[in-house]
Structure 1
């Protein structure tokens, strides 16, 4: 069981972890908006504001035509581009509706569209809707792409430097001295208890298993399988001890164990009862170490994180029902379910406080958490719903497809697709996002996901 012993060092770790989370979140949001800002400016769109956060402005500075600033609540951000939406058919193109890439800011701007703003003569050709479809897609995908890049750098960089979760090694950690009956609570070996095969063979803590039954040992999974298959036989065992190889002989004894499948999960019969089988037992436990992974493993690690995130996002409606039942009822909180900003901050603090985690474990887990957060921002923002980035991308792609079909059929150009017509959907989606955020904050406070059980 994971435990926490409070001390000055623990408090400093927790404070540092929470600050890391806050700064990391703000930086992720800021870079997301940079991903929109740079291509927008590169393509000539006039960007009037670049803001990190919402609420009242804490600091801002005007540089050229763009105001850069930080707002009080660092839970989002936006850039403001003129001409986000095209004019209605027949409307003067010099009169535009102005909006932004920020989720909640977009909803606020929708109300302002009742009063259309005129664009000066110098800006009439610098409106977002006038960009070609590919350029609009690039601008809107720039933010999520930045989060994807951060996720790859954080997850991959952590894996190749600090390593991922501690892995079981082929090094002997503890040798059990005697064989005790199942269910025994004895802490010392009785006089008549037989020695374990590991003790009888002369295995010592720190020995590295090199080969078993004449077969080179590559990892713990292989060694465990070989031990299970060697029940009742005497087999040669080679270990490395103090830099030298030592030849031993070990005789795994038969033991009734639960049968496992290739994924390590119990195999059940039709009634749901675990099946058992005879397997070898030697009586030693291996050590666990955090090992750096080769660069070649990074694509697989990132792909796994992406698939897990997509699975959560796709099942989000059902999972949010589970969160509500846990928050307002007696149902337990799903540790694999969605967690809000408060919950992630809490988990960061717990990671920093847990006694069983080394400093390397804590740093690796915190970096991995931030990488996972950026992966979630990447996937979530790709949903084809306004006011998310994916909604604007979907609108641009629909416009491109519509124009392409019209050209193939030799029909007049239908013109730009008025994404503003979908704003009622944006209001609904925005309202749901607000409700979801509030629910997660409440659930993270009254029924949090915790590592401490």
Structure 2
């Protein structure tokens, strides 16, 4: 059964990845067609063709390797004028020009990408990453507002009998230890918090905020017990405690150390559950993920070095480091096979898929060819040249011939392939352990 669940997790992520890639390419396809560009192919995957069918002038299909996708637009670059190309990479540039010329069909010379206004070219190339961002926002919104995030509920799970000093190794109350405010007040496990200090509470985080802000102040508290409201009086003591977020995780400072502060403390804990969040929480989660992925990309050379080092030494991988498709699939399988409620496993899988789409969004915006960000940069440079010529009263310059950047494009492509190969090998030989297995 565990093996079956493992496979289900991998299949779920592969389907999710395929949908994400497909929507990314639709983000390019739709505006390209709306702007009149001839699109010859829409493909999900690379390598040998598995299936395809032509509708109108466009061939739609799937290829064997589900690691990306593409659409083939006519005239991504200006048609070659027959001028010989000289230099070390002349043959590569000439081959790129010849391949580009083949996409310009007879009778459709005006329906080429490079003739579009700059703003339209940017929309076409930005459409793919934006589709991934939109999908991520939808996924995180379903998670946060539809299913809910794992947080402390208003149901009391336990009451501490006494107050123990922060950082102590003592686990049990001893004679002479002061009773906790919750125990003094008569709070019982199973009580459901209704209000504190006159404010209704809908989750434990709200209750904690009120209590922490009121050390040595007596608060009125209403709990529901056996279907009846019971009024209690509770006085939080001032105590040094490690601060936690809404999910119950420790707050860390800039140095990664747990934050300790003197706050109100009563000595009660909550049952954990899925709490639905406001509708804008999904967008906030997506934004936070964008920042994290952007930071990861900035640190990518160091992160990749660490991956290679751990591959050689066998040291534990950085849980915040990059993963390949193999690593994501492996992690999805492990999540699906864990001994946890089905809904909790589904939440984690959806979260992984949302994070994957954020990674696709940010990574594709890197301003290097052959990534979408590289094409956007070329379009912007073309626009700057045209604007400058107009300001000086000169004729509009010829469109930027990005085939001259083929050598750089090949270098970037080789680096991307090398990075993918390194991560795949590492994810097989020395995978990231996020589940403590």
Q: Is 1:47 matched with 2:39?
A: yes
The answer on whether the counterparts of 2:36 and 2:111 sit within 8 Å (CA) in structure 1 is yes
Tell me which of 316, 322, 325 is aligned to 1:341: 325
Report how far residue 409 of structure 1 moved.
0.4
Query: Structure 1's 310 and 256: CA in aligned 2 closer, same or farther, altered over 3 A?
Result: closer
Q: How does 1:18-167 map to 2 (within 5 A)?
A: 18-88=10-80, 111=95, 113=97, 117=102, 119=104, 121-164=106-149, 166-167=150-151
Report how far residue 170 of structure 1 moved.
3.3
* 3-state secondary structure, aligned to 1:384: coil
Report how far residue 39 of structure 1 moved.
2.2
1:302-341 CA distance string (max 9 Å, x none): 2222222222222222222222222223543211121111
The answer on whether the counterparts of 2:53 and 2:60 sit within 8 Å (CA) in structure 1 is yes
* 3-state secondary structure, aligned to 2:8: helix
* 3-state secondary structure, aligned to 1:55: strand
Partner of 2:88 in structure 1?
none
Report how far residue 436 of structure 1 moved.
0.8
Tell me which of 345, 355, 363 is aligned to 1:362: 345
2:141 and 2:243 map into 1 onto residues whose CA distance is 34
Query: Structure 1's 256 and 300: CA in aligned 2 closer, same or farther, altered over 3 A?
Result: closer
Q: TM-score, normalised by structure 1?
A: 0.82
1:229-251 CA distance string (max 9 Å, x none): 66667654322223322122345
Query: Structure 1's 50 and 320: CA in aligned 2 closer, same or farther, altered over 3 A?
Result: same
Partner of 1:314 in structure 2?
298
Contiguous gaps of at least 5 residues in structure 1: 1-7, 93-107
The answer on whether the counterparts of 2:10 and 2:332 sit within 8 Å (CA) in structure 1 is yes
1:305 and 1:273 map into 2 onto residues whose CA distance is 22
1:217 and 1:120 map into 2 onto residues whose CA distance is 66
The answer on whether the counterparts of 1:260 and 1:267 sit within 8 Å (CA) in structure 2 is no
Tell me which of 137, 150, 159 is aligned to 1:175: 159
Tell me which of 376, 380, 395 is aligned to 1:397: 380
Query: Structure 1's 148 and 215: CA in aligned 2 closer, same or farther, altered over 3 A?
Result: closer
Report how far residue 148 of structure 1 moved.
1.7
1:62-85 CA distance string (max 9 Å, x none): 233222221111111111122221
Query: Structure 1's 13 and 268: CA in aligned 2 closer, same or farther, altered over 3 A?
Result: closer
1:373 and 1:275 map into 2 onto residues whose CA distance is 30
Query: Structure 1's 113 and 406: CA in aligned 2 closer, same or farther, altered over 3 A?
Result: closer
1:109 and 1:167 map into 2 onto residues whose CA distance is 56
2:25 and 2:34 map into 1 onto residues whose CA distance is 14
Query: Structure 1's 118 and 323: CA in aligned 2 closer, same or farther, altered over 3 A?
Result: closer
Report how far residue 173 of structure 1 moved.
0.8
Aligned residues: 424
Query: Structure 1's 236 and 60: CA in aligned 2 closer, same or farther, altered over 3 A?
Result: closer
1:349 and 1:408 map into 2 onto residues whose CA distance is 58
Report how far residue 42 of structure 1 moved.
2.5
The answer on whether the counterparts of 1:253 and 1:281 sit within 8 Å (CA) in structure 2 is yes
Which deviates more from structure 2 when the two are superposed, residues 327-336 or residues 216-225?
216-225
The answer on whether the counterparts of 1:147 and 1:374 sit within 8 Å (CA) in structure 2 is yes
Report how far residue 45 of structure 1 moved.
2.2
Which deviates more from structure 2 when the two are superposed, residues 296-305 or residues 427-436?
296-305
1:183 and 1:37 map into 2 onto residues whose CA distance is 61
Query: Structure 1's 210 and 316: CA in aligned 2 closer, same or farther, altered over 3 A?
Result: same
The answer on whether the counterparts of 1:110 and 1:423 sit within 8 Å (CA) in structure 2 is no
* 3-state secondary structure, aligned to 1:450: coil
2:376 and 2:435 map into 1 onto residues whose CA distance is 42
The answer on whether the counterparts of 1:172 and 1:208 sit within 8 Å (CA) in structure 2 is yes
Which deviates more from structure 2 when the two are superposed, residues 110-119 or residues 196-205?
110-119
